[in-house]
């Protein structure tokens, strides 16, 4: 008899609880369904103001339901309703345009700035590789074939005449050649960047070697032209796209090094957690690297072959480098008024 009386009391309490609050739950659910299917502008001003109040009412009901161990189905319903309300009111609801804007205005430059130590190392490795490549070919020209693949050399080697080397710098070519050449080099540079990034997980060793080898190829090519008195001219020919391309490859190597060094030295985190943390920054930087390589490919396929003035080539190459540096490292100072 006493048990029956207790059950009746619970049922009565549950019915009363529902009766007092169910109207608010249904109203909140209806508003959420409307804004989830359409947009907030479909709600009136009063309805928008009511959303957070109804959300807090649902949370309060859920708290009471849990504390008094009411019907489990009702608790599940309130939990789902509160979760929907939380994601709508506090979750990220950015559109594609805003996400793209955030990437270019904040996320990408921030990721590159975060990698400044690795980027400095990557640039230093490129310089060291270039010096080594130059010295090796200068000491024995047979090193040239060992460093630069024939498909990339394009017929240029230490035995090429001055006229042949100069013709590559200034003669240009047909539009078919330009498009094919640009596509080939874009593919090659993209592969180098992806490998420097993707192989970084092996404690950064492959990334270091790839960056060194890329610099070595640059130095070997310079030696061939410098030996024929065309070093300055080659610098202009390369710079028109090379400042963007080499910067992008250096960033890719830096991203790979970040992951590799975090795996090797995870600190207080587990190796998986450290790799995941580094991967978020590195992946953001790599998306931007692909954008830079696309720019480099366009400059390479069009500008480098059609612009034959050394001064103009250096101006474009230097301008692009200044643009990237300002975008990555100075833009934040301007935005916050600290610089």
**88-105 per-position pLDDT tens digit:** 777 666 667 777 888 898
pLDDT, tens digit, 9 for 90 and up, residues 150-162: 777 767 788 888 8
pLDDT score, position 339: 39
C-alpha 69: how far from chain center: 48
Tokens of 44: 């009136």
Q: Which pTM does this prediction carry?
A: 0.71
For residue 10, pLDDT over 70 is answered with no
| pLDDT average, residue stretch 60-87 | 80
Residues 6 or more apart whose CB falls under 8 angstroms from that of 66 comprise 75
For residue 39, pLDDT over 80 is answered with no
Virtual torsion, Cα 326, 331, 334, 337, nearest 10 deg: -130
Tokens of 89: 């009111």
Q: How far are the Cα atoms of 168, 179, 225, 231, 265 from residue 18, in angstroms, in the given order?
A: 83, 71, 86, 84, 56
pLDDT, tens digit, 9 for 90 and up, residues 263-302: 888 888 888 888 888 888 999 999 999 899 888 878 877 7
Confidence category of residue 9, pLDDT binned at 50, 70, 90:
low
pLDDT, tens digit, 9 for 90 and up, residues 185-198: 667 777 888 888 88
- Give the three-class secondary structure for 267: coil
Confidence category of residue 164, pLDDT binned at 50, 70, 90:
confident
pLDDT score, position 70: 60
pLDDT score, position 32: 83
């Amino acid at each position: 008899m006493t048990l029956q009386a207790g059950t009746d009391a619970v049922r009565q309490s549950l019915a009363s609880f529902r009766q007092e609050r169910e109207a608010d739950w249904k109203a909140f659910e209806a508003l959420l369904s409307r804004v989830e299917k359409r947009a907030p502008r479909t709600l009136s001003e009063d309805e928008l103001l009511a959303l957070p109040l109804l959300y807090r009412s649902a949370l309060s009901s859920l708290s009471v339901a849990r504390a008094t161990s009411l019907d489990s189905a009702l608790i599940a319903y309130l939990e789902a309703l509160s979760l929907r309300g939380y994601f709508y009111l506090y979750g990220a609801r950015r559109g594609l345009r805003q996400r793209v804007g955030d990437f270019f205005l904040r996320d990408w430059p921030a990721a590159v700035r975060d990698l400044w130590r690795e980027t400095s190392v990557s640039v230093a490795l490129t310089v060291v590789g270039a010096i080594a490549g130059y010295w090796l070919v200068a000491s024995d020209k047979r090193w040239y074939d060992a460093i630069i693949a024939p498909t990339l050399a394009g017929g240029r080697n230490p035995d090429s005449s001055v006229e042949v080397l100069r013709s590559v710098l200034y003669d240009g070519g047909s539009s078919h050649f330009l498009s094919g050449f640009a596509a080939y080099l874009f593919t090659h540079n993209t592969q180098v960047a992806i490998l420097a990034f993707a192989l970084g997980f092996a404690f950064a060793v492959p990334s270091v070697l790839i960056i060194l080898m890329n610099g070595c190829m640059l130095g070997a090519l310079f030696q061939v032209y410098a030996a024929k008195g065309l070093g300055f001219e080659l610098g202009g020919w390369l710079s028109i796209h090379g400042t963007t391309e080499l910067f992008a490859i250096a960033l890719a190597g830096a991203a790979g090094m970040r992951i590799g060094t975090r795996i090797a030295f995870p600190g207080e985190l587990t190796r998986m957690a450290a790799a995941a943390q580094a991967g978020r920054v590195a992946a953001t930087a790599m998306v931007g690297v692909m954008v830079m390589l696309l720019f480099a490919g366009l400059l390479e396929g069009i500008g480098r072959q059609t612009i034959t003035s050394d001064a103009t080539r250096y101006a474009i190459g230097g301008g692009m480098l200044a643009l990237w540096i300002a975008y990555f490292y100075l833009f934040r100072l301007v935005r916050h008024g600290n610089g």
